Structure 1
Amino acid sequence: MSMMNRRTFGKLTAGLAAAAAMGSRASAQTTIRLAHHLPETSEQHIAATRFAELVDERTNGALKVVVVPSGQMGGQREIIESVQLGTLEMGYGESGLYANYVPAFGVLTLPYLYDGREHWTNVVTGDIGTGLSEELEQATGLVVMNWILAGYRDTYSKGKVLDTPAAFDGIKIRVPESPVFIETFRALNAQPTPIPSPEIYTALQTGVVSAMEGTPEVGYIQKMYEVTDNLNMTRHILFDGSFCCNRAFLDSLPDDQRDVVLTAAEEVAVLQRQESPEREAAWFDKLAETGLAINEFDLAPFRAALVPVQDSFAEKANATDVVAAIRAAGGE
């Protein structure tokens, strides 16, 4: 073989070897789809993309997380059901959905149950949250991987300022189709009206309802400042969220990859909880710039008015001990 042929052969051999190595790496790559129902501007999406980056980096590309936002894989209930069935690896859930399987989970979003963010964090990341998560896994095979702080929910209103429980009397307010939300506003003598999220703007614009509730982020993104006059800082519910994973899929991963996935999920949640108050303040600033009135007031009367809702839900969910433990963990 001539010198030229030997060089050509050597280059060809090296090229084939490199291609084989790349093909082996590609074939060994595992894809994890993480679906959620929220927009790409959301805190949850930011946490999901950070998670994807960490997993890719720490597994040298052996695990690829594909974030599927904005309900592309269905609504939140459909996403969680798909994770449970194993047709989807990961999804974004919350306690209200998990309550369909473990009723006691529902008490985590009861109105005015927490003294603040620190109290909430101690509850969900401590024995109470761990115990509920273990029950959920035993019942469904869903693994709660972390705890995302979805934020406080406030009330937007047309014309009337809603700064006392009495001010809600007779108010038609849009709420999610969730028993906790419906009973919360029913206890204030309002008329809670479940309406799909895409229809809220029109419902307010046409007078179907005169109020809605949600976070400042939702209020700004959905342009509530165009169809309401007030953001009333009722702070009525501190909402949670979490990444969840199918247990069978998680167990199918090699030990080192499984550890990366679990550790990365927890790290992004810790960072998200730390940054959440600052991001919430930024949304309030954006809303204030639109001319929307932001009203702060004493929340003690609201807390007192809604204690019966806490007690009623705790009893129905057979979780009076859980609510008692949550109350005892407060006092910050």
Structure 2
Amino acid sequence: MTQSKFNRRQFGAIAAAGLATGVFMPSIARAQSTKALRLALHTQIDSEQNIAAMAFAEKVKDYSKGTLDVQVLPAAQMGGQREIIESVSIGVLEMGFGESGIYSSYVSQFGILALPYMYKDFDQWQRVVDGPVGQDLGARLEAAANVRVVNMLMGGYRSTFLRTKAINAPDDFHGVKIRLPEAPAFVKTFAALGATPTPIPAPEMYSALQTGVVDAMEGSLETGFTYKIYEVCKHLSLTRHILNDGSFVINTDFFASLSADEQDAITRAGIDSATEQRAAHFARTDMWLKRLVEEGGVEVNEPDLAPFMEKLSSLQDSFAAEANATDVLAQIRAA
């Protein structure tokens, strides 16, 4: 018996045994049918966005009966938020985490969702992002950028972290160099307050504060803790200037390549993971505030927000006019 004949016969015997036991060949079939997709985030591993991403991955695996495998890549492994969304748009990444301020680079009207003091409460925010406004903006984004919104997460209220002083009134922002996302709505907000807006990607904000490139940053309490901003900023002013969103998006062409059942798995998992994240958000925010004070040694002050609202009251209308979104603004106010 030659070696080649022995190998062929040996393989045939093993394969036959595998078919009989239901182990060998089915495992190969399963491996071949599994589709991997990457979900990239700029947020840290212990962020609620990453927790939601991990839950999403588990639900996708369950709902797709194992045909989809979501690999979560947190902590800016694939770059900052703008880079991530650009990568999803051109198909370098299958999925990413973004927010309305970033999407406004593709659809100017999306910036309306991130304007200061836009919502009277969380319930209004939900009616907006889950209703006709959110659906319409999502459709525009898909047409413009080739990315499909899978869900809407609660990004939370954004406040101000400062190196050397607290903010008690709008005039206290005068001349302050403040780090913020690369998003037009954020830039216009702080320019209107007299600050010097300085867009810097999230992975670079700690060093920018540490070296004095900027005097302050704005963001969620979770961001302040998970990025260890408390090490370089000992003042936290609860300006609560923007109630922010966040979302998982998927490349439209990749989504279209999936079966109907797999598309349904993505959609269901997106909704379920967002529902869970929203339900836990405010308790987590309280926890982050406590940790910033007790573990980070941050001094917290709560300024009267009425003067800030008055100072920025005209920004909503002017931004909407520039973005050709006066109809969107009217719908949000009526929600």
- TM surpasses 0.5: yes
Q: Which residue of 2 aligns with 1:273?
A: 278
State the 1:229 CA deviation. 2.8
- For the residue of structure 2 that corresponds to 1:177, the secondary structure is coil
Structure 1 residues 242-286: Cα deviation after superposition (integer angstroms, max 9, x where no partner): 111122222222222211110111110011011111111100010
Provide the aligned C-alpha RMSD in A: 2.0
Contact 1:43 1:150 in 2 (8 A): no
How many residue pairs get matched? Answer: 321
Contact 1:155 1:213 in 2 (8 A): yes
Contact 2:42 2:202 in 1 (8 A): no
**Is the aligned partner of 1:228 residue 2:233?**
yes
- The change in CA–CA distance for 1:198 and 1:273 in structure 2 (over 3 A counts) is same
Q: Which residue of 2 aligns with 1:209?
A: 214
Contact 1:230 1:292 in 2 (8 A): yes
- The change in CA–CA distance for 1:257 and 1:233 in structure 2 (over 3 A counts) is same
State the 1:206 CA deviation. 4.2
Q: Which residue of 2 aligns with 1:14?
A: 17
Contact 2:189 2:312 in 1 (8 A): yes
Q: Which residue of 1 aligns with 2:289?
A: 284
State the 1:162 CA deviation. 0.5
**Is the aligned partner of 1:114 residue 2:114?**
no
Aligned-partner Cα distance in 2 for 1:253–1:195: 36
Q: What is the TM-score of this pair, normalised by structure 1?
A: 0.90
Of 57-66 and 267-276, more deviation after overlay is shown by: 57-66
Q: Which residue of 1 aligns with 2:132?
A: 127
Q: Which residue of 2 aligns with 1:174?
A: 179
Structure 2 counterparts to residues 67-146 of structure 1, below 5 A: 67-146=72-151
Structure 1 residues 37-87: Cα deviation after superposition (integer angstroms, max 9, x where no partner): 221111111111101111112223111111122222233223222222233
Which of the residues 322, 325, 330 maps onto 2:331?
A: 325
Structure 1 residues 281-331: Cα deviation after superposition (integer angstroms, max 9, x where no partner): 1000101103311111321111111112212211110001111221222xx
Aligned-partner Cα distance in 2 for 1:66–1:92: 13
Structure 1 residues 135-155: Cα deviation after superposition (integer angstroms, max 9, x where no partner): 222233321111011111101
- For the residue of structure 2 that corresponds to 1:92, the secondary structure is strand
Of 189-198 and 158-167, more deviation after overlay is shown by: 189-198
**Is the aligned partner of 1:257 residue 2:265?**
no
Contact 2:15 2:25 in 1 (8 A): no
Aligned-partner Cα distance in 2 for 1:78–1:198: 12
Letter of the 1:93 counterpart:
G
Q: Which residue of 2 aligns with 1:197?
A: 202
Q: Which residue of 2 aligns with 1:296?
A: 302
State the 1:110 CA deviation. 0.5
Q: Which residue of 2 aligns with 1:305?
A: 311
- For the residue of structure 2 that corresponds to 1:41, the secondary structure is coil
Of 69-78 and 123-132, more deviation after overlay is shown by: 69-78
Contact 1:175 1:182 in 2 (8 A): yes
Letter of the 1:271 counterpart:
E
- For the residue of structure 2 that corresponds to 1:268, the secondary structure is helix
Structure 2 portions without partners, runs of 5+: 1-11
Aligned-partner Cα distance in 2 for 1:245–1:296: 38
- For the residue of structure 2 that corresponds to 1:39, the secondary structure is coil
- For the residue of structure 2 that corresponds to 1:307, the secondary structure is coil
Aligned-partner Cα distance in 2 for 1:12–1:140: 47
Contact 2:38 2:94 in 1 (8 A): yes
Q: What is the TM-score of this pair, normalised by structure 2?
A: 0.89
